[in-house]
Structure 1
């Protein structure tokens, strides 16, 4: 058993530095570039397979890689990737089985250690999402357009990592990622400023065509059935209708598809991403929990009434992924 031969913090920093170095090596001042969605850099592959139960490295003929991932995020791979999910400090969280080609990271996961065979090194790819995209190598490549947003996000993430900068993001105080729409006979109404200051990102994976998805409640320690809740309420509303059924409820302990949402725990007292995973559909919402805690209703954000009343606010359809 070789064990963890370097700190998880070293892997995270090295991934960011490798991406920046790859860009600098190619950039000549005359071309624009975009970052690949493939998170696997074959140049960082090490010897030994990953023990899925501990996250340690075995001394055998296999290879492995350490890939930085985001909490509460779906990922898909070109081939099976046995390994382990770890926290930012290297604690083991979850085993990834040898039959796995996709998974959703829990709220405390930042690293994925994956076992690879020699034949996989040149073809393996992992990226965010639920539908596999065409293969692209890791790194940056010439773009005929301006730097794409993914590349700018990576540069900003790297700067924040090394400068320890904290920011709420570009969506603070804006309608997006929500959008006010007509729901049945109810015309569009303004989105409350409180909501715009708290909801910073929202996405639907596995959305249905012809439907809106409305988040109308965010729990922030609100206690029901003896449990402090941190999940969300989401309705699936047919376009043209006034309302629709709940597909997720923050306190529904009975429905198997709502289990993760009913039991989700906050990752941070500040910026936090909540994920509701029902199997066929996943909704992720990033909020500023500190802004909820400092309000007159510190244990929840209610979009149906009160200071957060936004009766026609839905997740902007541009953030629907089918």
Structure 2
């Protein structure tokens, strides 16, 4: 994995609505994705994970509004960085899928039910590579299906003729059709059983190692990220509250929220441990608590937590945390 940044998110703010009634769903997010890396993004429902993904790709549905910040993409080969938030509609159309693609949260239901797999895979190629012959597009579609472990005789199938796992793989094949540098996956395995989840994720990691693209993998299931990610960022109340290499976060989470997430699922190996979970509910984004958003649910909360918002600061090499429990948090 290269330490060269391929995607840099700086000071990103996203609102739903405008004016006094606007609700801020993503708050001052800074995030860096390195070339060839798998970056996991975890947090409870409503923490801002999907909103962040749709803001980065400029796919925010109304009334979502990007209120500030930048999202810089650095192309391979050392070209000039591109701020995705400033691209025109025509530039954005050329950029998406070719440089950055996304597998949506409802991936199994994202395929057009009245078109065959062949039509949907080749449509991507026809739109972005108009000079490509029909035969070449079909050959590429067969190559993509083989790449994700589906027999080429399924090219003529309709989505309803495929299992959930196969539809998921077709969506991944479509995302990889133009060999992008970055693939964002928004909870792509949520509706699948655990066996199929592991199969698809292992295949994804294998494809990443072979093709070299970087992945932002979004999920509420931190146990998946511990196994398959290089780094993990934890979101709460629209902010990044901790970021660390996957193994280090699993071994010693610094933020109480991260620790609570880790103790909300059973360990498959080692001694039996009690599941503690996290008391309370995620914050109401329209009425955020004063100070640290997690303080009303935190057993370790003390004086400054209910007064000031902790900044995300470095806490060792490759680690950062937004918590007053750790030295250096202003």
TM class by smaller structure? under 0.3
Greater strand content? 1
Give the TM-score normalised by the residue count of structure 2: 0.22
* Structure number with higher relative contact order (C-alpha < 8 Å, ≥ 6 residues apart): 2
Greater helix content? 2
